[in-house]
Amino acid sequence: MVKEIKSRKKLGDIIFENITLIFAFIIVGLVFYIAYEMFIDSSESRDRFGFGFIFSSDWNPVKEEFGALPFVFGTIVSSMLALLISLPISIGVAIFLSEIVHKSVRTPISFLIEILAAIPSIIYGFWGIFVFAPFMRNTVQPMLQSTFGFLPFFKGSMYGTGLLTASIILAIMITPIISAITRDVLKAIPVSQRDAAYALGATKWEAIKMALLNARSGILGGAVLGLGRAIGETMAVTMVIGNKAQIKASLFEPAYSMASVIANEFAEASGSLHISSLIEVGLILFGVTFIINSMARLLIYSVTRKA
C-alpha cells in the first residue's frame, strides 16, 4: 500500500514537471521560431542581393533597389554615441545610489529611475519632438557649433532633430538599465574588500575604484546590454532621428535607423521584394541583438554568480 501511494504521488509530479517543462520549452522554441520565420520570409531579398545588401547604400523602393548601409550606419552611430554618453553617467548614478547616499534618499531616487525605464518609448519620442528637439536647435546645437564648429561632426544646418538628438534621447532611455546592472554587480562585490581598503587608509573614491575594477566584466555586461536596447529601440528614434537615408559626418544631419525604416515603411511597403528587404533588415537586427544580449548576459552572470 505504501508503494502504491508513492507511485501515485510520483505520477502527479511527473505530469506537473512535464507541463512546466513544455511551457519552458515554448520560450526556447519561440526564439528559434522567430529566427527561422524571418530567415524564410527574407529569402527573396537575400537571394537577390546577397551580402551586398549590407554594403549598398541605395534604398529605392520604386526602382526595387535595396541596400541597408545607411540604416546600419544610423543604428551603429546613434547607439554607440548613446552608450558613450550614458555609460559614465550610469556608473556615476550607480555609485551615487549604492555607495554615497543614505537609504532614505536611495529608495525614492531608485524608484524614480525605475519609472524612467518603464516610460513607453512613444512618450520619449513625443517629448523629443516637441520639447527636446527645439531645445537642441535653439540652445545645444548653436553652442556646440560655435565651440567645436571646426570639427566635421558639428557642421551644417541645425534642424533640432537628427543623429545627435536621437543619441541623447537613447542615452536617457538606456541609463536606467545600465545603472541598475552596475548597482547589482557592485552589490555582488564583497563589502569586506572595501573595508579592507579603508583599513589601509584608502579614500572613499579609491575604495569604490577598486570595487569598480573587480566588477568590470559585469559593468561591461551592463553596457553591452544597454547597447542592445539602443540598437533595437524603435519609436523614440523614429520620431527624432529625421528619417533620411544618408551617411553624413555631421551629427546634426538627419539619419535613419534599421528599426525606424521598418516602422515607417513596413505597413505601406509596395512589393514583395520591398517587404522581404525590410524583413532582412529585421533579421540583421535580430541577429545583432541576439549576439549582443547573449554576450551581455554571460558577462553579467560571470560576476553575479560568484556572489
Partner 1 sequence: MTAESIQKIPKNLRRRKITNSVMISLCVVAGIITILPLIYIFFYTTQSGLSALNADFFTQLPKPVGEVGGGMANAIVGSIILIGIGGLMGIPVGILAGIYISEYSKNIFATIVKFTTDVLSGVPSIVVGIFAYGVIVIPMQRFSALAGGFALGILMIPTVTKITEEMLRLVPQSLREASLALGVSRWKTTLRIVLKTASAGIITGVLLAIARAAGETAPLLFTAFGNSFWQTNIDGPMAALPLQIFVYAISPYDDWHRQAWAGAFVLIFLVFIVNLIVRFVTRNKYSGNL
**In the numeric block, which cell numbers belong to residue 144?**
556646440
Give the C-alpha distances (Å, rounded to integers) separating 55 from 49, 52, 66, 178: 10, 5, 10, 31
Nearer to partner 1, 250 or 260 (CB): 260
Report the b/e string of 30-51 with b at 16+ CB within 10 A: eeeeeeeebeebbebbbeebee
* Binders of partner 1 in range 89-148 (CB under 8 A): 89-93, 95-97, 99-101, 109-116, 118-127, 129-131
* Binders of partner 1 in range 188-217 (CB under 8 A): 201, 203-206, 208
| Smallest separation, CB 12 to partner 1 (Å) | 5
Strands (E), the chain: 59-60, 65-66
294 is a contact residue toward partner 1 (CB under 8 A) = yes
Distance of CA 253 to the CA centre of its chain: 22
* Binders of partner 1 in range 46-75 (CB under 8 A): none
Per the DSSP assignment, residues forming a β-bridge with 298 are none
Task: Tell me how far apart the alpha carbons of residues 158 and 252 are, in angstroms, rounded to a whole number.
Answer: 6
231 is a contact residue toward partner 1 (CB under 8 A) = yes
* Binders of partner 1 in range 142-181 (CB under 8 A): 172, 175-176, 179-181
State residue 159 phi and psi, 5-degree precision: -95, -15
31 is a contact residue toward partner 1 (CB under 8 A) = yes
218 is a contact residue toward partner 1 (CB under 8 A) = no
Task: Tell me how far apart the alpha carbons of residues 235 and 52 are, in angstroms, rounded to a whole number.
Answer: 28
30 is a contact residue toward partner 1 (CB under 8 A) = yes
Region of 22-30, 49-57, 150-158, 189-197 interacting with partner 1 (CB under 8 A): 22-30
| Smallest separation, CB 58 to partner 1 (Å) | 22
Nearest Cα residue to 257 out of 61, 70, 53, 52:
70
254 is a contact residue toward partner 1 (CB under 8 A) = no
Nearer to partner 1, 93 or 144 (CB): 93
Nearer to partner 1, 67 or 228 (CB): 228
